Amino acid sequence: MITIRKGTPQDIPAAFDLVMELAIYEKAPEKVTNTPARMLEDGFGKNPIFEFYVAEVAEKVVGMALYYIRYSTWRGKCIYLEDIVVTESHRGKNIGKLLLEATMQETLAQDAALLTWQVLDWNEPAINFYKKFDAELDGEWINCKLSAEQIKTYFTKA
């Protein structure tokens, strides 16, 4: 029996474990600088900035979908799915589908115009999963980012 529900503060340790499992899968665990304490503050503190769904099997968290509100100047309110993760031992059991569907329902409930996310170009299992939903995989846009360290360096040179 799979249960999908909104994440709670008590779920943060399990959610962080899933983040680390994803980072290992993506061959970048050393890039994780977040902590369970920071996730707790960012998700349930004075100004929460994300929400998440968890998937439970036998009262154990085995998956999550973490999302937040973003704003498009063209479309208005949107939901950004930061990560959807199912622990390896529970993949292939429709848990990812249930988590994505919960996030899709949240998009409609919040009257958001879009649900967006990213997928690594080498992650064929995820790409094929998203194609089952008729998701538009847009190769036209280039992702851009600046780390806090890069920003500090920029302003130091200015």
Q: Hey, which residues are catalytic here?
A: 130
Q: How far apart are CA 39 and CA 9, in angstroms?
A: 9
String of DSSP letters for 5-65: EE--GGGHHHHHHHHHHHHHHTT-GGG----HHHHHHHHHSSS---EEEEEEETTEEEEEE
| Residue 34, phi then psi, degrees to nearest 5 | -70, 165
Buried b (16+ CB within 10 A) or exposed e, 78-107: bbbbebbbbbeebeeeebbebbbebbeebb
**DSSP symbol at 136:** -
Q: Which amino acid is at 107?
A: T
Q: How far apart are CA 153 and CA 115, in angstroms?
A: 34
